[in-house]
Structure 1
Amino acid sequence: MNRVVVIGGGYGGLRAVEGLSTYEDIEITLIDQNPYHYLQTQAYGYIAGEFDVNEVAVDLYNWSLGFKRVKFIQATVSSVDFVKQEVFMGEEQLSYDYVILAYGAKTNFFSFIEGLRENSYGVKSLYRAFNFRKEFENVIYKKLQNTDDSSSQELNIVIGGAGLSGVEVAAEMAHVIKNYSKTIGSRAKEIKIYLVDASETILPGTSDYIIKNTFKRLESLGVNILTNAFISKVDKSFVYFKDAEPLEYSFMIFTGGIKASPLNEVIESEKNKMDQLLVDKNLNISGFDNAFAIGDCIEMKGADGNILAPTAQSAERSAEYAAKAIKNRIDGTQYKGFNSSTMGIFVALGGKYAVGEVFKYIKVRGYIAYTLKTAITYGYYIGLRLRINTGFKNRI
């Protein structure tokens, strides 16, 4: 029996386990520091109060029990010895025949922006998303209460970073605030959302169709879009810009970049400026053909040689490749290098509205795009839930 250790219970890690579990000559150990899988692609709805926690988190222990040869360990991996083929979890260690590094990345609170980390939230972790949700609900509550100190005061919410996460969070919150006008009247208009990015446009790297229709939707929701806006400093009350007046704010979320997990710091391998691992064409750690790395912890390139965006889709494609590559190595069969590209993109834009593009040719917007995005997300969620139900039954 071949032992495979998968480090990380994110989108890539779970897809790798699913792929490997179909082979009867492989037993899998999944390791994550958290006992749950966080559906980060649903963070926008959770923060805005549209989703409950059970819709963005699933138990990894019960999920793993839904397979025949999968074991879950909740632990923090401290290092990996590729020569001795061992994973270290503090004083404990686990031997492997193959290992997949799939522990993702975290929000990059840029150190050159003074006060950014101390005064803003991220969405890469469920804990930070939970705290941000509480702050957002508190703003709504203040306006609902209509106290003297809040009834005539504008409350600004700043979202730093106009990539996919930032745009979706801004749109969903703006939609929720708009709906609250029925409950708190004109006071809802006093809650302002600012979407800030240093780039020339929102959603940099996407098509003109996606950018144009997303911009139009955000404007219709009342989102204030500030591009070419370089944040220089953040304190408890103001966001300061390089070439513009400070912006007073109530609370801030930052989605403007990622950096590798701390585990990358102890991995002895070549890395890029964001500390992401540089892997070969087979997604192997240099010099070790039984050690694979996937998802956000690596610099991933597509079929055209360009760097792929750090999305759940990219993580899953790389996971599928790694699972098949391991089986091919076990069987002694040849396999080609990783060759992938983004099949499409859907942007949730508040309520039952989205913008989407598939294979660069199929372009949709509005309710149709929302329906397609929801179907994809729901299919993924139901797959997890069915596996959890099986695991729960197996446990009892």
Structure 2
Amino acid sequence: MTILLSHTSAIEALRRLGCIRRESICSDAAACDCVTDASQAVALWESVFRDAPRLPLHAQVPQGAQRIRSSLLVTHPMREPPAGEVLTLCRGLACPTPAQLLVQLEPRLTRLELLVLMEELMGTYAIRPDAAQGMTTRPSPLLVPTDLESLLGNAGSASSHRKLRWALKSAVPGSASPRESKLAIRFSLRPSAGGYGLAVIGLNREVSVTAIANGEKRVRKPDVLLARPGGLGNGKVVTLEYDGEVHLDEERHADDLRRTNELAAMGIAEYRIDKALYKNLAYIDSLVDQIRGELGMAREHLSRDQREERRRLRAELFDELEQIDGVNWNGLLRERNRREDRATEAEAQEAVPEEVVPLEAYGV
């Protein structure tokens, strides 16, 4: 029998698996253990990853099996994953494939949390709080869109898994950092969802350029490649670079300058922001206006109320993305609290103060 990791423990395993194994991950069917032994699960984890797991470990057990909730282990009675949707970590320990894990997590995460996690699995980074930078890199993504498309296609009608289907439609593969993922989300989501409604046509997508010094052909990979939505604009694109700490290195900075010049020689504008500008919502608003003009997009004519509502939605999206750290998944609780706060505000606005009746009305 096999201990099948689930939920946050499966996320942690996939993040470590992507960093310690460079060969292709092979799928294998596994039968869930009905009675999971906590100490055995921890020992198996340590034999694979050479360090202790984050406790409690989460494991899947068959429906109807005993539920365990302790400081070491939490079990989740569920149906067994489809054949081929389990990864064998070692003899006796397994975890779901990335696609199956997203299906498993869908009821417990918000749409935005699913999208952020999906961008990570489709990218080349892994959230690792124990690492110096808070993340590590891997040579290739753990998930490609067709993996999830196939699984959802076998799951039934298009009305099922609505949150996952929305996230899959919104996700852009190829991200190399959490900040790139969140930039893509902010720039690509519809204005009604707090985004800017631009088309993100690639993250770290290859662009052929000509070196300024010697005229040689080379490939650049801009962080974010932006275009007009709907494929309009005669192929006009704009790039957006996020300058993290690694860009402070003198050699890296020099290469950044060469890239900027090479793209400019091709008629491609490159805009750059850092952590401070990323958090400056007014600046990003103005930057998007500039990018829209660069892409030949018409100026939007909005009423004052519409502008304020969109600004509120953008601030709400920014705040929620800041809360999603890849370790704590509390989005549903935050959503419920926001709904309650709005209801309270609405009640306060609707409340009409009682009219004070003058004493003269009583003949006093």
Q: Which has the larger radius of gyration?
A: 2
In terms of fraction of residues, the more strand-rich structure is 1
More helix by share: 2
Report the TM-score when normalising by structure 1: 0.26
Normalising by the residue count of structure 2, what TM-score does the alignment of the two structures yield?
Answer: 0.28
